[in-house]
Amino acid sequence: MKQLAILGSTGSIGSSALDIVRMHPDRFQVATLTAARNIDLLAGQIQEFKPGLVSVLNKDHALDLSRKLAGDHKPDIVFGSTGFACAASHPKVDTVLLAMVGAAGLHPALAAIESGKQIALANKETLVMAGELVMAKAKEMNATILPVDSEHSAIYQSLMGNRRKDLKKIYLTASGGPFRTTPLAQFPKITLEDALNHPTWNMGKKITIDSATLMNKGLEIIEAVHLFDVTPKEIEVLVHPQSIVHSMVGYTDGSIMAQMGRPDMKGAIAYALSGPSRLDIGMAFPDFNRLANLTFEKPDCKKFPSLLFAYEACIQKGTMPCVMNAANEAAVAAFLEKKIGFTDIFKLIAQTMETHRCIDNPDLSSIIDADCWARETVLSLI
Ligand code: MG
């Protein structure tokens, strides 16, 4: 029986993970849960899965949750950054599913690594902000990091049974988002509603905007560099609108290993929780008779400069990936509040990266400082 910590249990990844737990109660037990603000949903999850400890964003949310749990199963309730770290490093926990959104995932990720947990990593920012530091710490503590992102899960699975030194290239596939065929001239007219309408994946708001700008792919380039210890040059992004091939690995003999499936995160989540065993999660195969074709095309970096930002951040290393990520988060938040236009997201990230003085081999406090600086810079530019 695997004891799970599910951090970000009310989000789309967290809820899917709980669906998997519900299907396989003989394999998984929920030891801890965390959520930020969705107290009603969290209260329901607590009654169903009976975790020993839960954490929420702040004291008010903790009090609200405690009131809502009156008379029922009563877990320990903690809150804030320390609370999330507690949930991640809880002695009962074997595997931590880190599915919190944004930079808030970094502290609990480090807490999980420091207590030697197995980590199913869905939070991109952990590796984007502090990839060098996090991977070094994971090596030192012998903590395994299993990717939950569908692309990295695909790469991970395509590497199984092959020698790492035979790897020549990683093909990171991208759906292309809702504006793949929109001409550049129409980009200034893109609205929030247009951007939230993703063609193949059903996800949270922030990541849906990141998919529309292709920044999601940019973050994934940086993640892949750290997870698989490759150079940015070894990663090629391919737009694959059908989202059936989740990514591929090319080997020295010209062979390509690809992992395919329906565009549903459940497959990658289940593999991160139980791999190399595969669980029956009621997932159908892609219907190859109805798929007219699988196509691949080069991304348009004039429309989507996010990819160039990410390659640049990978080359500069140090605090630059963190600054790119923080600038993106702040810009996307402003776009979600309709304070800026779609193309302003790119402009704000570019301006912030240009003015940043990059620090090499940063420690955690330099990373946090760079993160704050980038957010403030974006706000001042708006
Ligand atoms: Mg992905």
Report the alpha-carbon distance of residue 51 to residue 3 in Å, rounded: 10
Judged against a pLDDT cut of 90, whether residue 19 lies above it is answered with yes
pLDDT bucket at 202, cuts 50 / 70 / 90: low
- Render pLDDT for 230-267 as a digit per residue (tens, 0 to 9): 999 999 999 999 999 999 999 999 999 999 999 999 99
* Integer Rg of the chain from CA: 20
DSSP for 9-73 reads TTSHHHHHHHHHHHH-TTTEEEEEEE-SS-HHHHHHHHHHH--SEEEESSHHHHHHHHHHTTTS-
Q: Residues 6 or more apart from 312 whose CB is under 8 A from it?
A: 320, 353
- Render pLDDT for 90-126 as a digit per residue (tens, 0 to 9): 999 999 999 998 888 999 999 999 999 999 999 988 9
- Render pLDDT for 162-197 as a digit per residue (tens, 0 to 9): 999 999 999 999 999 999 999 999 999 999 999 998
**Contact (Cβ atoms closer than 8 angstroms) between residue 90 and residue 52:** yes
Start-end ranges of CATH 1.10.1740.10 in the chain? Answer: 318-382
Distance from residue 318's CA to the centre of ligand 1 (Å): 24
Distance from residue 74's CA to the centre of ligand 1 (Å): 36
Long-range contacts of 198-201 (CB under 8 A, 24+ apart): 199/175, 199/241, 200/175, 200/241, 200/242, 200/243, 200/263, 201/175, 201/243, 201/263, 201/265
Distance from residue 36's CA to the centre of ligand 1 (Å): 22
Distance from residue 323's CA to the centre of ligand 1 (Å): 20
- pLDDT for 64 equals 96
Report the alpha-carbon distance of residue 40 to residue 28 in Å, rounded: 23
According to CATH, the topology of domain 318-382 is: Rna Polymerase Sigma Factor; Chain: A (1.10.1740)
Distance from residue 219's CA to the centre of ligand 1 (Å): 9
Q: Residues 6 or more apart from 136 whose CB is under 8 A from it?
A: none
Distance from residue 73's CA to the centre of ligand 1 (Å): 36
Crossing angle between the packed helical segments 320-336 and 215-227, to the nearest 10 degrees = 150
% of the chain surpassing 90 pLDDT: 93
Start-end ranges of CATH 3.40.50.720 in the chain? Answer: 2-147
Q: What are phi and psi of 235, to 5 degrees?
A: -110, 125
Distance from residue 216's CA to the centre of ligand 1 (Å): 7
Q: What angle do CA 291, 293, 295 make, to 5 degrees?
A: 130
Distance from residue 150's CA to the centre of ligand 1 (Å): 5
Query: Yes or no: is domain 2-147 CATH 3.40.50.2300?
Result: no
Q: Within a 10 A sphere around the Cβ of 187, how many other Cβ atoms? A: 16
Distance from residue 172's CA to the centre of ligand 1 (Å): 9
Q: Which of 11-25, 188-202, 268-282 has the lowest mean pLDDT?
A: 188-202
Distance from residue 20's CA to the centre of ligand 1 (Å): 19
Q: Residues 6 or more apart from 98 whose CB is under 8 A from it?
A: 7, 8, 88, 105, 108, 109, 112, 119, 120, 121, 122, 123, 126
pTM for the complete prediction? Answer: 0.93
First to last CA, the chain: 50
Mean pLDDT estimate for the chain = 95
Helix (H, G, I), strand (E, B) or coil at 185: helix
